[in-house]
Amino acid sequence: MANIIRKAERTATRVWIYITRDIWRVYVSEGEQRRFGLDNIIRILYLAGRGFMDNKLSLTASALTYFTLLAFVPFLSLILGIAKGFDAQEYLQAELINQFPGQSEVLNLAFGLVDSVLSYASKGIVVGLGIVFIIWSLWSIVSNIENSFNRIWQISKGRSFSRRITDLLATIFVLPIILILTFGVTIYLKTAINTSPILSALSPVMNVLVKCIPYFLSFIIFTVMYIIIPNTKVKLPNALLGGLLAGIAFQAFQYLYINGQLWVNRYNAIYGSFAALPLLLLWLQLTWTIVLFGAEITFAAQNIRNFLFEKESRNISQRYRYFFTILIMNVVCKRFDQGLRALSDDELSSQYHIPIGIVKRQLDLLCDVGLLSEANSSTDDRIRVYQPAMDIHQISVSLIWRKIFEHGTEDFKMNPDERYPSQWRTLLDMENALMTKGEDILAKDL
């Protein structure tokens, strides 16, 4: 037994070392050979789990649960109000109960509140503070969802105010129409199966297809969320992977939630009729957890190369740091001199075989010291490309060295030339020697 335990410990240690270190020690070209091979799936799941913990997304899910509950009735009022204009309010209510059978009690209560809101609105009573509250609650949920996704994608800058207004209006008016059309197609298929002789003959197949509609709808909704909400360009295959896994997890959770009747009955015995509210909060919390974890999977799938040689990139020597800096400046200046289009950080990494983590850090440094500047890509304004920030005929190797060498604060309450003259002059002599040798070498000519 002791031998078995020791072997198990050694095996677990080797697996952990492989997952946390060895699996990341591959070159970029090797890592791209099989995009969704076994190694990459392991990397994606590991990064998604680590990102979920590092970003404290369980707390984010709790915050989104609060804002969702706050915006639930106003948003449902808008959806059903638009559906009422199409004479589809009753159909939509029935389908919402069918899609979320575990929340039928809460939905029936919400439908009553919505009817009251719509009745008051038709009489012109919902004005002033009521309208302000509805707009604020919807704005809050949309803004918080976008901020949560941007934090996962490590994006510091969100959409502009006008763009958020456009997204809010699109959410208010487009989503209800999509839901109505989707539920309408479902109702049409169910009716056609019963009335059409041809479809009746294929009823087993059609019934399976109808039952698959919720899964397909979840998959599409999650995928669209992961593409549209982050303020960056998300590639379709990565969003499809996140949408597929999140959709499957959501439907599995729905199944377990709905079929856990024994547990729900025990819960009702404690809370009585009040049980619907805590159960709704639990459902919202776990749903947002699934949504955010799917976003982490999408981010990890698109940014696997950022973490290749991650430990080595963090411990890179100063010599290699300066080497990659000069290499990046050489590439950017030379392409600018030849009239070629500017490259993004991802393109610089893949075309010149530099770990993307290093590329990102050195590009940020070069922008901070005023040697490079960011610009929007001509093909997609969500992609940032890099170009020289000054005349390339003035960007010499010595200038690059000086800009980086002097970057940062030197505002300390001491005068090194007086207190430590020998050490300070030695450093200045070394600096002057390096600068002198690189004065006549332009970055574009390397």
Measure the CA–CA gap between 43 and 47, rounded to whole angstroms. 6
Nearest CA among 213, 10, 222 for reference residue 95: 213
- Tens digits of per-residue pLDDT, 358-392? 888 899 899 999 999 988 887 776 778 999 999 99
Write out the residue range of the structural domain in which residue 93 sits: 54-306
Same domain? 152 vs 293: yes
Same domain? 181 vs 271: yes
Do 5 and 282 form a contact (C-beta atoms < 8 A)?
Answer: no
Same domain? 322 vs 437: yes
Same domain? 112 vs 22: no
Strand order in the sheet with 384-388: 343-344, 384-388, 372-376
Q: Which two tokens stand for residue 392?
A: 């390339």
Same domain? 76 vs 13: no
Measure the CA–CA gap between 260 and 372, rounded to whole angstroms. 58
Q: Determine the angle formed by the axes of helices 89-99 and 104-122, rounding to 10 degrees.
A: 160
Same domain? 34 vs 62: no
The pLDDT of residue 28 is: 44
Same domain? 146 vs 90: yes
Give the H or E element holding residue 134: helix 129-152
Query: C-alpha angle with apex 349: 306 to 153, nearest 5 degrees?
Result: 35
Segments of 110-266 assigned E as strands: none
Query: Quick one: CA torsion of 35, 154, 162, 63, rounded to 10 degrees?
Result: 110
User: What is the rounded average pLDDT for all residues in the chain?
Assistant: 76
Nearest CA among 138, 292, 164 for reference residue 231: 164
Which domain-ending residue is among 269, 290, 306? Answer: 306
Same domain? 91 vs 137: yes
The DSSP secondary structure of 110-121, one letter per residue, reads HHHHHHHHHHHH
Which domain-ending residue is among 306, 341, 373? Answer: 306
- Structural domain tally of the chain? 3
- Tens digits of per-residue pLDDT, 107-131? 666 777 666 666 655 555 555 555 6
The pLDDT of residue 67 is: 84
Same domain? 281 vs 349: no
Do 401 and 408 form a contact (C-beta atoms < 8 A)?
Answer: no
- Tens digits of per-residue pLDDT, 144-191? 888 888 888 877 666 777 777 776 666 656 665 666 566 566 656 666
Same domain? 169 vs 124: yes
* Mean pLDDT, range 411-420, rounded to an integer: 81
Same domain? 318 vs 409: yes
Binning the chain into helix, strand and coil, the percentages to the nearest 5 are 75, 5, 20
- Tens digits of per-residue pLDDT, 338-357? 999 999 888 888 788 787 77
Residue 56 pLDDT exceeds 90: no
Residue 41 pLDDT exceeds 70: yes
Q: Which of 299-303, 333-337, 433-437 has the highest mean pLDDT?
A: 333-337
pLDDT class of 33 with cuts at 50, 70, 90: very low
Helix and strand numbers, DSSP H then E, in the chain: 20, 3
N- to C-terminal Cα distance for the chain? 64
The pLDDT of residue 216 is: 81
Does residue 56 come out as left (phi exceeding 0), alpha (psi in the -120 to 50 range) or beta? Answer: left
Here the CATH number for the domain that contains residue 360 is 1.10.10.10
Return contacts of 176-184, CB within 8 angstroms, 24+ apart. 176/78, 176/79, 176/82, 176/83, 177/82, 179/79, 179/92, 180/82, 180/83, 180/86, 180/88, 180/91, 180/92, 182/213, 182/217, 183/91, 183/92, 183/95, 184/88, 184/91
Do 183 and 92 form a contact (C-beta atoms < 8 A)?
Answer: yes
Measure the CA–CA gap between 50 and 15, rounded to whole angstroms. 17
The pLDDT of residue 141 is: 79
Same domain? 9 vs 143: no
Which domain-ending residue is among 280, 306, 332? Answer: 306
